[in-house]
Amino acid sequence: MTVLTMKFRGNIGIKAGALFLAVLLWAHVATEKYYEVTVSLPIVVQLPEHIALSSSVPEAAQVKLWGKGKHLLLLRYSGTKLSIRANPGSPGKVSHVPSPMDVDIPEGLDVRALEVLQPSVMEFRVDRRIVRKVPVLPALKLSPAPGYIVLSPKVHPDSVTISGPKEVVRKVRVLYTDSLRASALRRSLRGELRVAIPSPYIVCTPPTIWVEVDVQPIVESWLEGIPVRLIYSPKGAWVVPNRVDIEVRGPADVLAKLSPEDVQAYIDYRNVREGKPPEPSFHLPPGVQFLRARPSSFRVQLP
């Protein structure tokens, strides 16, 4: 490397550093100056606790500001907003003319509001706020893989508290979650779903619920020695044989806990009196399907 090349590279470093310092100095001088700017600020309507907003309002206002350059740059992150403070005595229409006094600027910023350009007038409706507790149902569209079954979902909590304008809240009888779709399920699901709110003026607490869906493989098994009762029969009548074995199908976890005591078998004598064969009926737990019985034939013995 030649001496000339080394000097040239050295000069580049010095010049780059000088340029960087010059830019910093210019930026400092520029941001210390005062400017007049027009900015977009979010609109917030502040109402008493017992009053709720029942109509839409503009999302943003155009406001003319005057302030130091570096503080104007911080406005976007400072929480500066146009706050409409209203205290209506009763439900109905509210009209308010925004002014610079409505602009909330955090302390420490050398900025002041000069004029609210848009909206020139704020008009909205309010209603009495009411609170209700309503049930929540999960919006699920689930299908199992072959050989599996999807059991009834469990939700926690099963209800939420909603608050808002009386005319809107009183029409809500039940809420649903956002939709969840899944197919070919082989495993159980657990997840958090947002509650779907039917109106932007309603506040929901909590905003989400937990949903659990149990997915089980389908199995078959035999339950033996179930007593057969005879109902609506003459006194002293009985069934021969008086016990039955049944084959059932259902979720693996459910059948693993199922015992003959969980099943009721009975023959209605009124059907026998009408000439029908004495076939037992079975009362089974939810999700359990009857397949067949042994023996398959019975008779009623009268005293």
Does one domain contain both 134 and 209?
yes
Q: Is residue 15 part of a domain?
A: no
My answer on whether 223 and 296 are in the same domain is yes
CATH number, domain with residue 174: 2.170.120.40
Adjacent-strand bridge partners of 51: 128
Asked whether residue 183 is domain-assigned, the answer is yes
22: in domain: no
* CA gap 77, 71 in Å, rounded: 10
Choosing from 213, 246, 278, the residue where a domain stops is 213
Instruction: Give the domain-ending residue among 120, 154, 184.
Output: 120
The CATH number linked to 70 is 2.170.120
> Do 224 and 208 belong together in one domain?
no
Interatomic CA distance for residues 143 and 181, integer angstroms: 9
Domain assignment of residue 21, yes or no? no
Residue 100 lies in a domain: yes
Q: Is residue 25 part of a domain?
A: no
pLDDT of residue 8: 47
- How many distinct helices (H) and strands (E) make up the chain? 5, 24
pLDDT reported for residue 4: 47
Last residue of a domain, one of 160, 185, 213: 213
Tens-level pLDDT at each residue, the chain (303 residues): 544 445 545 556 554 554 444 444 444 444 578 888 999 999 999 999 999 999 999 999 999 999 888 888 888 788 899 999 988 888 999 999 999 999 999 998 889 999 999 999 999 999 999 999 999 999 999 999 999 999 889 999 999 999 999 999 999 999 999 999 999 999 999 999 999 999 999 999 999 999 999 999 999 999 999 999 999 999 999 999 999 999 999 999 999 999 999 999 999 999 999 999 999 999 999 889 999 999 989 999 988
Asked if residue 136 belongs to a domain, the reply is yes
- What pLDDT, on the 0 to 100 scale, is given for residue 68? 86
Q: Per-residue b/e over 20-42, b at no fewer than 16 CB within 10 Å?
A: eeeeeeeeeeeeeeeeeeebebe
What type of residue is 65? L
| Domains of the chain: total | 3
Domain containing residue 180: 129-213
Shared domain check, 221 and 208:
no
60 assigned to some structural domain: yes
d(CA 163, CA 170) in angstroms, rounded, equals 10
What pLDDT is attached to residue 31?
59
Using a 10 angstrom Cβ sphere, with 0-12 exposed, 13-18 middle and 19 or more buried, the burial of residue 270 is: exposed
CATH, residue 293? 2.170.120.30
pLDDT computed for residue 108 by the predictor:
87
